[in-house]
Chains A and B, each alone.
Chain A
Amino acid sequence: MADAAAIRDEAARLLAFFEARGAVRVETPVLQPAETLLDLYGEDIRARAYVTADPVVGEAMLRPDFTVPVVQMHMAHGAEPARYTYAGKVFRKQEEATHRAPEYLQVGYEVFDRADPAAADAEVFALIAEVLAPLGLRAATGDIGLLIAAISGLTTTARRKAALLRHLWRPRRFRTLLDRFSGRAPAPAGRADLLARADPMACDAPLIGLRSAAEIAERIEALREDAAAPPIPAHEVRLLTDLMALRETVDNIAEHLQDLAVDMPAIAPAVARFTARAEALAAHGVDITRLDFEGSYGRTSLEYYDGFVFGFYAETRPDLPPVATGGRYDALTRVLGQGGEIPAVGAVIRPELALQVAEGRA
């Protein structure tokens, strides 16, 4: 295990590297209002972030990541385009018996730039690849944008698409819904019975609580619509499943995706973005004939990524978490932007992992 001073030095070195490449150094508070993070990530974040109480702010969390406060800072008073770098600790409660560190340093690089998203994706990836090159890491990439496009293009109701998109980051739940919407799993027990009643709203108990009769009636209507909707065609489910199961190098995937787009025209714009990114990566000197692509990559990470996603792994140390991770999070800027939005992509490196891998190689 590298000592704390060496980890600090490594963080400083990485920070200086990003500054030298034109990033502006920024700081964010360690204490973050809990409400923002809870609304973004849901109650699960409580299991992962340290929650504390501030007498004025109310519930606060020790910064579980930098992306949210950096986006907030940029959306509040950032000039465009912007490139930021930062170094500091993040705090993650380890309730499960993973024995991973509850606090560790991260050094990040974030790009807010409307001009050319494919180029920005490639720029961030290539910078991380460059600074970590001596470690001989394996990079894995994915594209949440392709999955979102494929789901949005399914032949089915808007409600079903919204439900699938909402659970894209919960693979088990997603599978259950997809099976049901495609007629491969039956509707939940009791549903047909409810809809067959002369007055489904009839109940011998009084309605209590905030959820109104109108809301219940609306959901019954939604259930009726769902019961009447034809199943998602089997070939579309197969294409989506194929897309999620893809594992190939980026250059081979580009070709494969063109073929998929013939049968699934809805993904054509996302495929065009993928191709543009692959070209931009190659232009940055990344060898895309050896760069892995995984169709489902990023589906189990924090759910703000909505485009390009990637991670760098030490193949000699499968026990370690990824040394670096990153991706595009345009939608997050919309959620936090109070009316504004801007395409954004970024990545973080964990300096102590970089040192551990380097020591293993020495």
Chain B
Amino acid sequence: MSVKLGVPSKGRLMEKTFDWFGARGVRLALSGSEREYSGAVEGIDGLELVLLSAGEIPRELAAGRIHLGVTGSDLVREKLGAWDEKVAELEPMGFGHADLVIAVPKAWVDVTTLDDLDAAAAAFRAAHGFRLRIATKYHRLVRDYLREHGVADYQLVDSQGATEGTVKNETAEAIADITSTGETLRANHLKVLAGSPVHRSQATLFKSRKAQWSESDRAVLAALKARLGFGD
């Protein structure tokens, strides 16, 4: 058996992951043609590269079908309930940075903090007869965050894309989405609430707690950790 390492199968996230491992003496590469989703590993024996969509890596880790995986810390927290029982964070990788933030119309001059959002939500519900809508695809992260901070009278509406447009289209009053520069938010007349974001995400190397770890698998992991330069 070998240790399976799940890596995003395309784009910048894949390239950056290859670079990150490469800089530490583990060469990951696509084998065969560029369109073929299979990979090769040089530098560590017994490590197998599995190319997957970044969004599926949390699920595969939780199911124990891969031993290790690279994906955004936001995706693991969003897709897995009690995530830290299923996977362990081995190392933040320092790229793929993005913040999950809550944004409201810039013209809401009276709303700058979560406190304000909560008060505005109460008044909005009283005036409109329904709970203030926040469009997002990060339901679990946003809900946990708002519960933790005691915000009430809101509802989450699902938005899988073009989330910044939902306020203008009047299908939501506020949004919660990933941003790195804030450019799209500004262009859509939105502003980010003050304070720390819902989650600061970056690409992270995860280890599955649910996969079968044979003795030889553990030896491979130890060798990999030593090569990558982090201890136990």
Q: Which of A202-210, A257-265, A315-323, A338-346 contacts B (4 or more CB under 8 A)?
A: A202-210
* A208 touching B143 in the complex, CB below 8 Å, given contacts A173-B150, A215-B127, A219-B119: no
Comparing A150-158, A163-171, A282-290, the segment that makes contact with chain B is A163-171
B144 pairs with A209, CB closer than 8 A: no
Report whether A220 and B173 are in contact in the complex, using a CB–CB cutoff of 8 Å.
no
- Once the chains bind, are A206 and B123 in contact (CB under 8 Å)? no
The distance in angstroms between the C-alpha atoms of A85 and B82, with both chains bound, is 36
Report if A206-B107 is in contact (Cβ < 8 Å); known contacts: A211-B120, A211-B124: yes
Query: How many residues of chain B are within 8 Å of chain A by beta carbon?
Result: 45
Task: Identify the interface centre among A172, A190, A206, A209: most chain B CB within 10 Å of its CB.
Answer: A209
Residues 204-247 of chain A: 1 if any B CB is under 8 Å from the residue's CB, otherwise 0?
A: 11111111000110111011000000000000000000000000
Range, interface on chain A: 35 or more
Interface contact A166-B122, CB-CB below 8 Å: yes
A3 within 8 A of B: no
B110, A209: Cβ atoms closer than 8 Å: no
* Cβ–Cβ contact B153 & A219, under 8 A: no
User: Which residue in chain A gives the minimum CB-CB distance to B189?
Assistant: A205
Q: How far is the CA of A174 from the CA of B150 in the complex (A)?
A: 9
Q: Which of A172, A189, A203 has the most CB of B within 10 A?
A: A203
Q: Report if B88 contacts A (CB, 8 A).
A: no
- Asked whether, in the complex, the Cβ of B168 is within 8 Å of the Cβ of A208, the reply is yes
Within 8 A of B (CB), among A33-66: 38-39, 42-44, 46-47
Contact between A209 and B173 (Cβ–Cβ < 8 Å)? yes
Asked whether, in the complex, the Cβ of B143 is within 8 Å of the Cβ of A219, the reply is no
User: Residues of A with Cβ closer than 8 Å to B?
Assistant: 38-39, 42-44, 46-47, 95-97, 163, 166-167, 170, 172-174, 176, 188-190, 194, 200-211, 215-216, 218-220, 222-223
Known A188-B112, A206-B189; further 4 A-B contacts with Cβ < 8 A: A95-B81, A167-B150, A170-B150, A208-B107
